[in-house]
Structures are given as structure tokens and as C-alpha cells.
Structure 1
Amino acid sequence: MSGEEIVFEAVGPRDVEELAELAGSIWREFWTDRLGSGQTEYMIDRFQSRSAIERDMREHAYDYWLLRSAEDGRVVGYTGGCVEPATNRFFVSKIYLLAAERGKHFASAVVRFYDALCRERGLSAMYLTVNKGNELGIRAYEGNGFAVIDAVETDIGCGFIMDDYIMERRVG
């Protein structure tokens, strides 16, 4: 287990382009072999592009953070999501790490960050969606107290489907 700490750097309007470039890089590296290049590029454009990030921040009150190594300041990934007042939960929309940074327990640090954020905001739980074929992600989330509460297939347009589990973690 790595003892390396991470710093959560809030993404502001001037940081969106850097975030979008990072997202595209991570997505192409991780998802192209799993989903194919067509669906990967479609999903980057629809959910990870500069315009998508700006839309989510403006219209859905998303918060985003770059994840940096506390040791040397290198970017290791990013995360983001939003409060859902109707369910009193935080939707963890994104936790993505660069390939070289996976397996270092950074995702666990992100979950601890969200746990504290949820407590601070008086939320009862956090939840996320994870592709059913993303075994690494599923194991990481289960290891951090998430449990599958549902399975969904979502038509995202252009003939593409997201085949996901919904996983939830109660805030303690």
C-alpha cells in the first residue's frame, strides 16, 4: 500500500481545458479497448469534453477536482460530482486515474474525501455508476464500502448503451 497522499485542487473556469485534456487522455487509454474507439470518443465528447464539463458546472452544480501528488505536485487523476438534494446523496460522477497511478490507493483517498464532504453537507450517502465490465473499479469500490444497489442499461444515443451497476456507500 502506497503511503503517498493526494491534494484535491478545485477546478475553476480557467482549469477546464486542462481537465478536459486529462480526461480525454485517461479515457482513450482505459476505455478504447473495452468499449471501442467509436463509443469512447462519443462519450468523451458528451461527458468529458470542455463543453460537457462547463455545462455540468453551470447547469448541474458539479464540482471537479484535479488530484495531485502531495509529494511532487504531479497530476494523478481527477474526480467530480454533484449533490442531489432530492435523494440527500452525492453523485460521484467521475473518479479517473492515470494508468501509472492506479493501484496506489488514490481511489480510497477520493472516497474518504467524499465521505468528509457528505458529512459536512449533511448528506446520507454517496453513489456512483460503474461499467459492469470494469472489474478493477468494482473491486476498488467494494473495498471502500460501496455495494451494488441496482443495474441499469442507459441509451446514450447514436446506438450506444452504458451497461452499469449503481453502487452506493452510506455515510457513517
Structure 2
Amino acid sequence: MEIIQASTSHIPTIQDIAIKSWEITYADILSREQMNYMIEMMYSTSALKKQMTEQNHHFLLIKNESSSDFQGFISYEFNYKNQPNTKIHKLYLLPECKGKGMGRILIDKVATLAQSERNNSLSLNMNRDNKSIGFYNQMGFEIVGEEDNDIGSGYLMEDYILEKKI
């Protein structure tokens, strides 16, 4: 597997992976209107640029050796809310790449980076209806809470809060 640190020049690649992933992941959970709203809110060029340059979100891209294109990404933030915790903001793989170990590799890489920053846990939010909960449980994450976030236009993100000690 090849993993690289993404830069703003990789925004079109991140957008492409996100859109293809969202179609499968959220089709049975969110309305088309809410998906479009959230994709624009989180994955527009200006939103991703702001995440990378102002909000201290780091992005990694992954591909296997037989591919010329990246097949997934993860974004994370060290010392989230001034705590020794690394927040995983996004983790998406192309649908055909799920089950091949890429998600595990990306989380393990972020855990190693987090430890080098003296962070002792990873956390993430995930939609309570997302079928990936089993994957995160296998990775050692536990549900530590729930929260509903108003994201505007009458939409809520209804999430579990997951955490893993590292």
C-alpha cells in the first residue's frame, strides 16, 4: 500500500472518493437533499481548503500498488479541543476497496502519528445508522456517547461518539 500526505492539490481526488463513497454509504440513511447539502458543506473546494489550511485537518490518501489512482482517504486533527486526543474527521474508501484492509491501515497510521504527538486516544463521530459500526468495533473503538448536531437547513447529524485508547 502507498500512503501519502495530501495537499490542496489533491482536493479533486478527495472529492471524487467522497462522492462515490457517500452514494453507497448514505443512500439508505439520508435523503438525497441532505446528502447534497452535506457534501457541499464538507467537500466543496473552499471547505476542504479551509480544513487543510485553517482548521489543522491532515489528510492521508491510500492506494494499492496495482492502482494508479488513490482509493481512499482519512482526515484527522491532533490535540482535538486542546486534549491529548486525535479526532478522525473523515474516513472513506471507494466501495470496491472495502474489506481489503485499507481502512485498518489508515487508522493504524493515524494512531502511530497521534502517539508521536503524545495523544493517547482516537475519536470519531459516525451516523447511528451507519453499517460500519462493526468495523470500528473490530478496530477497538467503543461507543462513549451520542450527539445530535444541527448542521443547518433543518438537518441533523445524529451520531455515535466512538473512542479508542492508543
Q: TM tier, shorter chain?
A: over 0.9
Corresponding residue number in structure 2 for 1:161: 156
> Residue 4 of structure 2 contacts residue 60 of structure 2 at CA under 8 Å; is this kept in 1?
yes
Paired-residue identity, %: 23
SS at 1:35's partner residue? Answer: coil
Are 2:65 and 1:70 equivalent residues in the alignment? yes
Whether the 8 Å contact between 1:79 and 1:96 is mirrored in structure 2 is yes
Mapped partners of 1:48, 1:141: distance in 2: 23
Letter in 2 for 1:88: P
- Report the RMSD for the aligned CA atoms in angstroms: 1.4
The answer to whether the aligner puts 1:132 opposite 2:117 as a matched pair is no
Secondary structure of the corresponding residue to residue 34 of structure 1 = coil
In 2: Cα distance, 1:13 partner to 1:110 partner: 19
Secondary structure at 2:99 match in 1 = coil
Q: Which amino acid aligns with 1:60?
A: Q
> How far apart, CA to CA, are the structure 2 residues paired with 1:91 and 1:148?
14
Q: 1 CA distance for matches of 2:122 and 2:12?
A: 27
**TM-score computed with the length of structure 1 as normaliser:** 0.89
What residue in structure 1 maps to residue 16 of structure 2? Answer: 21
Q: 1:106-151, CA deviations, whole angstroms, 9 ceiling, x for partnerless residues? A: 211112111111111111111000111012x211011000001110
Distance 1:103 1:13 in 2: 28
CA-CA distance at 1:21 after TM superposition: 2.5
Residues 162 and 85 (structure 1), Cα distance of their counterparts in 2 relative to 1, 3 Å cut: closer
Is the CA contact 2:127–2:160 (under 8 Å) kept in the aligned structure 1? yes
1:117 to 113, 127, 139: 113
Looking at structure 2, the residues matched to 63 and 152 of structure 1 have their Cα atoms a distance apart, in angstroms, of: 24
Aligned residues: 165
Structure 1 spans left out of the alignment, 5+ residues: 1-5
* Offset of residue 58 of structure 1: 1.7
Alpha-carbon displacement from aligned partner over 1:77-119 (angstroms, at most 9, x marks no partner)? 1111111261111110111011111122221111211111111
TM-score (normalizing by structure 2): 0.92
Equivalent in 28, 31, 36 of residue 33 of structure 1: 28
1:129 and 1:166 in contact (8 A); partners too: yes
User: Could you tell me which of 134, 137, 140 is aligned with 1:142?
Assistant: 137
79, 84, 90: which one aligns with 1:94: 90
2:42 aligned with 1:47: yes
Partner of 2:104: 108
Q: Does 1:58 align with 2:53?
A: yes
Q: Which moved more, 1:47-56 or 1:73-82?
A: 73-82
